[in-house]
Structure formats: structure tokens, C-alpha cells
Copies of this chain bind each other. A is one copy, B any other.
Amino acid sequence: MAKVVVVGSVALDDVQTPFGEVKNALGGSAVYASIACSLFSSAGIVGVVGGDFPKEHIELLKEKKVDLAGLEMRNGGKTFHWKGKYGLDLNNPKTLDTQLNVFETFSPRLPKEYCDADYLFLGNISPKLQLSVLAQMKKRPGLVVADTMNLWINLQHEEVLEVVKQVDIALMNDSEARLLFKTSSIVVAAREILKLDSKIAIIKKGEHGCVMFTDSKHFSCPGYPLENVKDPTGSGDSFGGSLIGYLAKTNDFSEENLRRAIVYASCVASFNAEGFSVEKLRQISIKDVQARYKEFEGFVKF
């Protein structure tokens, strides 16, 4: 059985960056997160695709030992489609088109065997759906990590706060944290997250790395100094998937191990940005990740 249940979007993306473009490429928060997770622990995906979803993508997920019992196939519909474009500032893509398709009426239903999972990753989907997944669990998982995005903070502000309240690790971008709590300081935003009952706040900052806030400590992890970024799409999801994958593998939620998890997750996220879609993510092995982890040790030592 899959150790980590990953809920989120499964998509076909058109992405343009200054360094190239892809069309109908495999994407979606659950896809990036589950493939990244599989570097450390087995993942099971909960999502929905349409009849146009290519068989080769299913094969790729199977190759990565991602369990597909929770992947709903609606042959009569079309897969969620996102079209985005990045400028030279690779931190903020411009959404050119979003076609929800089968995702519009998606309501995640967990396979029975997922309902007592120990590790749950609530990838970037509507907070209402994230809450519905939490409600389906027979027992509270040992660790729940949730991601979100600005769209939901704007549309379903209260529900995003409710998710933050119910999970152990709240994950979001710096701009999203600022938006959620209407502050210019991510330190203030992180304190608000902790006040809401999340044990841990992790604020992702794209190429600048990320910071973790717990009650008493602050950890800062730099971004990997990438020379050839191709497409940052999915790097945040890859970060989240690797983070919970590493924690599931080690089953240790100490400050020290959380820090290690964050560095591993940063390594995986940085690899992801070096290729379009899941191109790079599918190629790398745990050895590649470990080599980059070693490099990180040298980056911060003083």
C-alpha cells in the first residue's frame, strides 16, 4: 500500500518560458508531488483525468510506483488544462488560459485503503476539496501537509484558514503568505499560521529557497544556484512531495529531521526546474539528490 496519499490536480499543460515551450505536457500538483515523493516513499495519487489523458503518462506514473487506485478516469471528459507563460523573471508565470474540464466537478473520493494512511499531502486544489479529503480519513494521519495558492486565498479565504488550522505543516509561497494575512512581513505571516494551530509554517520563496518557522526556531534554506533553469512549473509541488516523502521514510518529526527534509525537498525542486514538465524529475535518482544535498552543506557553512 502507498505510504503517502497525495491529493491534487492532474493536468495537461502548455508552458512557455524564455528557454522553450511544451504543449499538452504532463503536469498538475498531484503529479509533481507524487513523482517527487516516490524518490523517498511510495505515493498514491487522488485526482481525476479525462479520456484524452495519454496512456504514456499513466505508464510513467506506474513506472514511478505511484499507486493509481484513487485516480478517477472520466472517459467522456477532458483533462484539466493550464496554459502559462514565464518572462525573464521566472518567479511569476502569467496564466494565459485555464480549462477546468473534468476538474470542475471533481470531488476526491479516497479508496478505502487510503482512509487510514499515516501521511497525507493536500496539494494545491480548492481548500473545500482539501477539507473534504480530511473528513474522509478514518483516523487522523500522523502527518498532514497542505499547500495552497493565491487563487484560493482570494476566492475561499476562510476555507484556506480552516485548512491551515487542521494540518500539521502549512506550505505556501511568500506572496501567498503575505496575501493570506495582509502583511508585508513573512515573519508576521508565519506567526499567524502558527497561531492558527499549524505546528509548522514553511514559506517557499522560489529561487530564494524557503524558510521554516516553528514555535521556537527559524530555519532558512537557500535556493540551489541554478545556471540553466528551463521551467519552474511544479517546483513547489515537487518540494511538497519530497518533503512528505522524506518525512514518511524517516518517520521523525524532530526539528533536525524537518531541516533535513527541507534541504532534500529543495534539491528535488531545483532539479525539477531544470527541465520542462516532469522531464527532469523522472530522470533523477536518489543518488543525484544526495549529491546535491552535500553541495547544500557547503553553501551555508560559515
Contacts and interface: CB of A to CB of B under 8 A. Distances in A.
Interface of A: 18, 88-90, 178, 184-188, 191, 205, 207-209, 211, 213, 217-223, 225-229, 256, 259-260, 262-263, 296-302
Contacts of A228: 185
A219 to B, nearest CB: 6
Contact of A211 (B222, B229, B260, B262): B222
Contact of A208 (B208, B262, B296, B297): B208
A295 to B, nearest CB: 8
A145 B178 CA distance: 35
Task: State the 8 A-B residue pairs at the shortest beta-carbon distance, nearest first.
Answer: A220-B222, A259-B302, A208-B208, A88-B184, A300-B300, A187-B227, A187-B225, A220-B299
Given A89-B184, A184-B18, A301 B259 contact: yes
Contacts of A297: 302
B218 A225 contact: yes
* Secondary structure call for the A interface: mixed
Given A178-B88, A208-B205, A208-B208, A226 B185 contact: yes
Contacts of A205: 208
Nearest to A259: B302
A221 to B, nearest CB: 8
A291 to B, nearest CB: 15
A95 to B, nearest CB: 20
